[in-house]
Amino acid sequence: MAQTEANIASLIQPHLSQLTPYQAGKPLEELARELGLTNAVKLASNENPLGPSPRALAAIQTELANLHRYPDSHAYYLREDLSRHLGIKPEQVILGNGSDEILDLLVRTLVSPGDEVISSAHTFLMYGLLTRAAGGVFRPVPLKDLHLDLAAVARAVTPKTKLILLNNPNNPTGTVFSRADWEGFLAALPPTVTVVLDEAYIEFVDDPDVPQGVAYLAEDRLLVGLRTFSKAYGLAGLRIGYGYGPSKLLDFLNRLRLPFNVNRLAQVGARAALRDQEFLNRTLEVVRQGREFLCRELSRLGLSYVPTQANFILIRVGRPGQEVYQGMLREGVIIRAMDAYEFPDCIRVNVGLPSPYHHHRRPGRGRQEHRGQGSGQGLGLPLSG
């Protein structure tokens, strides 16, 4: 057995041995297996608390009879719908098995061993993982007051920089950057660097000063935007995301993209969800009210949090986040500890639904409150990666 393991290790590319697998939020099914809890609440993965769009469910039900047929490999009709939705050409749209797949295609297309990828510290963990998997050098730039520092990102560019990955709103802080900062950042970049703007949570933004990448799309600008049906549209289980960018660049991604990467149910479900504006509006209102409730209650408890433009909130709990995470699991609530994001005394909680259900408090267990500032100031969070 030891010899077999040594043989396998000798076959693997050396930089892959340094990778740590991405840890997703704990599934409800896993909690049921471990603790026997069948009525658990999951607030760890930023999913839509309302579930999927009813129109999407109806379309998927109808499509079930066609599961013996391969899907359209080019997702013609969905790309047509998205092009109208975004106001761009269909050839400027690409579909993926989640927006993660498009991000992977971008890294594999543009990054060679030794090339640099710049992003921010304390951001989506897949950016660093995919960069290192391609043999690239991941260079995180410190946040500034828990916001992406675009000016510092631009200054960090070197002749080895191939890709810049930006999350707006940023996960896990929920913070955003302004239109003025964005436009200044674009103007400062050399024309050889590709910018990827990950807008997984853009639908939840209600600040009018936050830019949307599609407004800056041009064939002569190396800009790719990423969006998803997993969050606001409630289709996380179907794994479908999309990107927009220069058609010439997307052509190369499509050469690398596996055929049939987006299944039939995902395609018809996404088309129906895109047309269900009533459901989207209801989702945004639930999230708006939920954010206000969480911020109000956190302030009442004296807990520090970061004001957010997403459907989740980063909270400082004043002790190891893993302790709170484990304690909440025993109460049947799944949240996310932030150790992997280098916020060890924080948790991330997404907006859920109001519920008449109240957990029975065990005897002798009181509520411990921690003093802090609701504005997020004085969080004392580490600002470098």
Tell me which residue of 154, 117, 111 sits closest to 137, measured CA to CA: 117
144/148 Cα distance (integer angstroms): 6
- Which residue matches tokens 């099914």? 29
Name the average pLDDT for the chain.
88
Q: Taking a C-beta distance cutoff of 8 angstroms, is the pair 229, 55 a contact?
A: no
- 97 vs 85: CA distance, rounded Å: 20
Chain centroid, CA 229 distance in Å: 11
DSSP secondary-structure letter at 27? P
Other residues' Cβ atoms within 10 Å of the Cβ of residue 148:
28
- What average pLDDT does range 190-211 have in this prediction? 97
Q: What is the mean pLDDT of residues 152-161?
A: 98
Would you say 359 and 331 are in contact if contact means Cβ atoms under 8 Å apart?
yes
Give the pLDDT mean for 360-368. 34
Would the pLDDT of 376 be above 70?
Answer: no
- Domains of the chain are 24-50+278-350 (3.90.1150.10), 54-275 (3.40.640.10)
Q: What is the mean pLDDT of residues 220-248?
A: 97
**Pair 92, 224: CB distance under 8 Å:** no
Cβ atoms of 194 and 166 within 8 Å: the answer is no
Q: Is the pLDDT of residue 2 over 70?
A: no
Tokens coding 206? 């209600």
Give pLDDT, residue 375.
Answer: 36
Looking at per-residue pLDDT, the higher value among 11 and 339 belongs to 339
Residue 353 to residue 99: CA distance in whole angstroms: 26
- At 76 the three-state DSSP class reads helix
d(CA 364, CA 230): 40
Q: Do residues 119 and 165 make contact, with C-beta atoms less than 8 angstroms apart?
A: yes
Two structure tokens written together for 231: 């969050």
pLDDT band for 16, please (50, 70, 90 cuts): low
Instruction: Give the span between the Cα atoms of 219 and 247, in whole angstroms.
Output: 7
Rounded to whole angstroms, how far apart are CA atoms 285 and 206? 11
Higher-scoring residue by pLDDT: 360, 11: 11
At residue 243's C-alpha, the angle toward residues 339 and 217, to 5°, is: 110
Residue 3's pLDDT is: 63
Please check the confidence at residue 116 and state whether its pLDDT lies above 80. yes
pLDDT of residue 279: 98
Question: What average pLDDT does this structure show over 51-59?
Answer: 97
Question: Of 38-42, 43-47, 181-185, 264-268, which range is least confident?
Answer: 38-42
Say whether pLDDT at 155 is over 80: yes
Question: Lowest mean pLDDT: which of 37-46, 174-183, 290-299?
Answer: 37-46
User: For position 354, what pLDDT does the model report?
Assistant: 86
Cα–Cα distance for residue pair 7/275, rounded to 1 Å = 53
Q: What is the pLDDT of residues 253-265, one digit of tens each?
A: 999 999 999 999 9
% pLDDT > 90, the chain: 79
Sign of CA dihedral 294, 297, 298, 299: positive
pLDDT-derived band at 304 (thresholds 50, 70, 90) equals: very high
Is residue 39 scored above 90 in pLDDT?
no
User: In the structure encoding, which two tokens stand for residue 255, read together?
Assistant: 């050469």
Say if residue 172's pLDDT is above 90: yes
Residue 380 has pLDDT above 50, yes or no: no
Tell me what pLDDT residue 252 has: 97
345 contacts: CB under 8 Å, gap ≥ 6: 316, 317, 318, 319, 320, 321
User: Cis link prior to 21 (omega < 30° from 0)?
Assistant: no
Mean pLDDT of 15-24: 65
One DSSP character per residue, 230-289 reads SSTT--GGG--EEEE--HHHHHHHHHHSPTT-S-HHHHHHHHHHHH-HHHHHHHHHHHHH
Report whether 310 contacts 261 (CB < 8 A).
no
Q: Which region, left, alpha or beta, applies to residue 312 given φ > 0 means left and ψ of -120 to 50 means alpha? A: beta
Tokens of 55: 């129109």
CA distance 138 to 152: 15
155: number of Cβ within 10 Å: 10
State mean pLDDT over 26-43. Answer: 72
Average pLDDT rounded to a whole number, residues 308-323: 96
pTM of the shown model:
0.87
- Residue 275 burial by Cβ neighbours in a 10 Å radius (0-12, 13-18, 19+): middle
- pLDDT, tens digit (0-9, with 9 covering 90-100), for 175-191: 999 999 999 999 999 99
pLDDT value, residue 40? 80
